[in-house]
């Protein structure tokens, strides 16, 4: 464990190291090993590491106990930098600790790379109309990114009400049409969430309250058609999920129940609109709370955060899918969010 890690581990794997440190609830977990081997150098390094993440009590206990045992201990912080973050004192999930740490470490690159928020618009009706005007484009690209074979004509047919699953068997069984119908229904729910944040409600709280509705609307048509079980609308996943062609493995399903409240707490408390936009999307898909639909809901969430900052509704185009996925992958695997912030920032700037 931590006692066996050399100084290089803390430099090269800072997020993992801090997440592991945060799991230690009491100095006794490590002191037995330190005392047994008289490991003064390691004790000094761990004391400095615990103090770095705000666990002063554990750091003090290590130093005092080693000194009481007549060991000469010199505390040394093995990390290159400090972060202004106090992790939940009693949180045991390493996934939750990782999310808190990533959020804090990723804020600064986002603030440097993402355009400043213009501020909430005064004309709510005009903002919503602008979003409605690009709905077909948004739906086409968002569904196509996920591999659905849709056309603007199909999306328009669904939106206009010409899609009739009760009388048309092709409509009822056509996976792509069901996806288009679900996207339209979800958009209606998201649109109401956008209205709430434009009226001044906290965007993190709104998304926390409403994202389950977006999900249910998105997959309701597939349940009605019998392609999904009613139980599939219940909520967060109950199985492990893997992302095609990605090195990132989302948290185990048991951890999702811990991660999502922590995520929405961070979103609710985040003062910077740009950080809410980038990390709202990124952390949601990092957790991957649902068995399906995470990308679409992540992009809806991004646009709710954009609205709260006064940015325009922004479409991630199909032709930039590879750049989009590469940027998400770099953030997920290397904890380097700059590329994703730059990618989204350019699209937002082009949307004004």
Determine which of 81-85, 146-150, 178-182, 210-214 has the lowest per-residue pLDDT on average.
Answer: 81-85
Q: Is 248 one of the annotated active-site residues of the chain?
A: no
Homologous superfamily in CATH for domain 100-351: Fido-like domain (1.10.3290.10)
Mean pLDDT of the residues in the chain:
91
**End-to-end Cα separation, the chain, in angstroms:** 50
Q: Where are the domains of the chain?
A: 2-82, 100-351
Q: Is 200 annotated as a binding residue?
A: no
Token pair 């999904």: residue: 228
Q: Is 297 annotated as a binding residue?
A: yes
Q: Is the predicted pLDDT of residue 82 greater than 60, yes or no?
A: yes
Q: What's the rounded Cα separation, in Å, for the pair 255 and 232?
A: 19
Q: Is 294 annotated as a binding residue?
A: yes
Q: Is 293 annotated as a binding residue?
A: yes
Q: Is the predicted pLDDT of residue 205 greater than 80, yes or no?
A: yes
Question: Which pLDDT tens digit goes with each residue over 238-281?
Answer: 889 999 889 999 999 889 988 999 999 999 999 999 999 999 99
Task: Name, in order, each residue with C-beta under 8 angstroms of 2's C-beta and a sequence gap of 6 or more.
Answer: 17, 20, 21, 24, 30, 46, 49
Q: Distance between alpha carbon 288 and the CA centroid of its chain, in Å?
A: 8
Q: Is 119 annotated as a binding residue?
A: no
Contact 274, 106 (CB under 8 A): no
Query: What predicted TM-score, i.e. pTM, was given to this entire model?
Result: 0.82
3-class SS at 335? coil
309 closest CA partner among 139, 183, 127? 127
Please report which helix (H) or strand (E) contains residue 158, including its range. helix 152-160
Q: What's the rounded Cα separation, in Å, for the pair 57 and 313?
A: 47
204 closest CA partner among 259, 156, 262? 262
Catalytic residue among 141, 174, 281, 288: 288
């Amino acid at each position: 464990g931590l006692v066996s890690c050399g100084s290089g581990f803390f430099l090269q794997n800072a997020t993992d190291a801090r997440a592991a440190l945060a799991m230690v609830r009491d100095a006794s977990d490590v002191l037995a090993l330190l005392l047994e081997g008289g490991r003064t150098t390691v004790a000094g390094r761990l004391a400095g590491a615990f103090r770095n993440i705000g666990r002063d009590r554990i750091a003090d206990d290590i130093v005092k106990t080693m000194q009481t045992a007549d060991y000469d201990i010199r505390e040394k912080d093995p990390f290159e930098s400090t972060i202004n973050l106090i992790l939940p004192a009693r949180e045991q999930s390493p996934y939750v600790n990782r999310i808190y740490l990533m959020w804090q470490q990723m804020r600064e690159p986002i603030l440097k790379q993402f355009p400043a928020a213009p501020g909430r618009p005064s004309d709510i009706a005009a903002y919503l109309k602008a979003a409605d005007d690009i709905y077909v484009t948004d739906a086409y690209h968002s569904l196509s990114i996920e591999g659905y074979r849709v056309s603007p004509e199909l999306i328009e047919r669904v939106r206009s009400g010409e899609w009739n699953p009760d009388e048309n068997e092709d409509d009822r069984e056509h996976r792509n049409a069901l996806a288009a119908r679900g996207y339209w229904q979800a958009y209606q729910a998201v649109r109401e969430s956008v209205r709430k944040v434009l009226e001044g409600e906290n965007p993190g709280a709104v998304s926390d309250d409403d994202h389950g509705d977006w999900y249910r609307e998105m997959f309701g048509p597939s349940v009605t058609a019998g392609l999904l079980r009613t139980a599939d609308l219940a909520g967060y996943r109950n199985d492990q999920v893997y992302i095609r062609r990605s090195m990132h493995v989302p948290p185990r399903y048991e951890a999702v129940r811990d991660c999502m409240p922590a995520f929405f707490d961070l979103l609710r408390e985040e003062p910077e609109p740009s950080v809410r936009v980038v990390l709202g999307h990124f952390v949601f898909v990092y957790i991957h709370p649902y068995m399906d639909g995470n990308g679409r809901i992540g992009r809806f969430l991004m646009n709710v955060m954009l609205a709260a900052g006064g940015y325009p509704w922004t479409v991630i185009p199909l032709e930039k899918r590879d750049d989009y996925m590469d940027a998400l992958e770099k953030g997920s695997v290397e904890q380097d969010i700059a590329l994703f912030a730059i990618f989204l920032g350019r699209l937002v700037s082009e949307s004004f």
